[in-house]
Structure 1
Amino acid sequence: MTGVVVTLLYAPADRPELVTKALRSAADVVVLDLEDAVAPAHKAGARDTVREAVASADRSIQVRVNAPGTPWYEGDIELLASLRADLGVRLPKIEVPEQVADAARRLPARPLHLLVETALGVERAFDVARADPAVASLGLGEADLRSDLRCTSDEGLALARARVVLAARAAGLPSPAMSVYPHVRDLEGLRESCTAGRRLGFCGRAAIHPAQLDVIRSAFAPTPEEVAQAQQVVDRIGTATAAGVGALVLADGTFLDVAMVEQARFVLALASATAHE
């Protein structure tokens, strides 16, 4: 395990057959969805599916609950409080730190994964990311954000995406995963979008279909040249440290600093996480 999460796969919790398929997939994390993918009349049954799936599955799972303030939020929180403590909780439409603190208080020891999906949420992204030590990640919910911003293309999301990357890293959290790419059959568009997201500082992406997983993984994989450069940096610092050398220089004359070493280690971890078994 590298600790780097590259692929997350959503499964609507009111569809047991899709939940089973997702749990058998190669996704790093399966997200059982109680929110947008589940009609109001099916919420109770979806909770039963989550309870059964969590009890029988030995893998990394998160559950996306309904947003705070909705009629289903309390029932979702009660369900999660009764389940295993390592279960990740995906909190949608977060706008204020108090929402995070309330979930952390009622779900102790559970990692919280926050989604900001409104203009206000983006503006307060750093504050909510630091709201409680239980916060494990920060991300965007872009469908709702598009509606709130009234934007018609990805260009309108550029600032929000950059803000979330900055807020996550400033709060000491992992680089965020990208929001889902809704065009399931457009795998080339997905690849291009992931490549652009990696340049912005995202690491990985949520998927809504298993067919998207390999594309996401390969798009976020470092190139062989990046891996070779990173390995050279790590090897050079190890050799220099063992020899008691203070000035660290690569073969091309580039001086090393702490930031370069940390980035190199991340690249190697990402390469390991995206390698096909």
Structure 2
Amino acid sequence: MDKGFAPAKVNLALHVTGLGADGYHRLDSLVVFAGTGDQIAATPARDLTLTVGGPFAHGVPTDDTNLVLRAARALRDARGVQKGAALRLTKNLPHGAGLGGGSSDAAATLKLLAQLWGVDPLSPDAPEVLALGSDVPACLRAPAPLRMRGRGEVLDPLPRLPTMGLVLVNPGAALPTRDVFQALAVKENPPLPDPPETKRPEDFAAWLKTLRNDLQAPAETLAPSVKEALELLRRTPGVLAAMMSGSGATCVGVTKDAGTARNAARVIQVAKQGWWVAPAPMLA
């Protein structure tokens, strides 16, 4: 059995810069990956099948509406593979959480099956990859931090970021991405400034505080607990900056290291025992 890791995709900033004629929003986003996420396993088989387990398995489809199977079929068709695979997804990330869970699962599947089947992997700029979803190209670059623009197809590496920790907090609200984008009032906003080159987490966090997530306001309207989560993170000792990831509802606290993230997570877990809280290192 071969295994793959699908890390949580975290948007430390997300600026919406326009709406294209194709109906897709144009983004300018600072993307990093966390050392927590879903797991994918694959064993050789005649057909393509999917089973799902883990704490957030309930409600996850196992048919072709799941991005894991769609990714598997896309690779098989693109490379002319005649084999199949029995896929097992362990769902550790909550649904509708703004952490790119389905896209990261799809990217991990593409990498895993390319190894299992002995074929060349699909590149992030392959049309088959973008057809799976706007976040899949970025997730194929994981764990490298990057700047994501356009629909998600324009990917640029970032200067080496400081070593930092992350505290992921989801207040139990699922926010469909489409609903959040539809509630966005202003669709043309300034892009991201260039990130600073610094080795100090404190300096990087100070820069993060000058950035935005343009989806935060509509997300807070749809799920007021997002604002509560952000306020709690900002009050928690050790959290240098806090922001909402993607379209929410997961909020993220940035800390100077993974140990500080674990301490901050314990404080929040005690205060909000019904919330999902996960400390993790920021991958590089």
TM over 0.5: no
Higher strand proportion, which one?
Answer: 2
The TM-score, its normalising length taken from structure 1, stands at 0.29
The structure whose RCO (Cα within 8 Å, separation 6+) is larger is 2
Higher helix proportion, which one?
Answer: 1
The TM-score, its normalising length taken from structure 2, stands at 0.29
Which structure's CA Rg is the greater one?
1
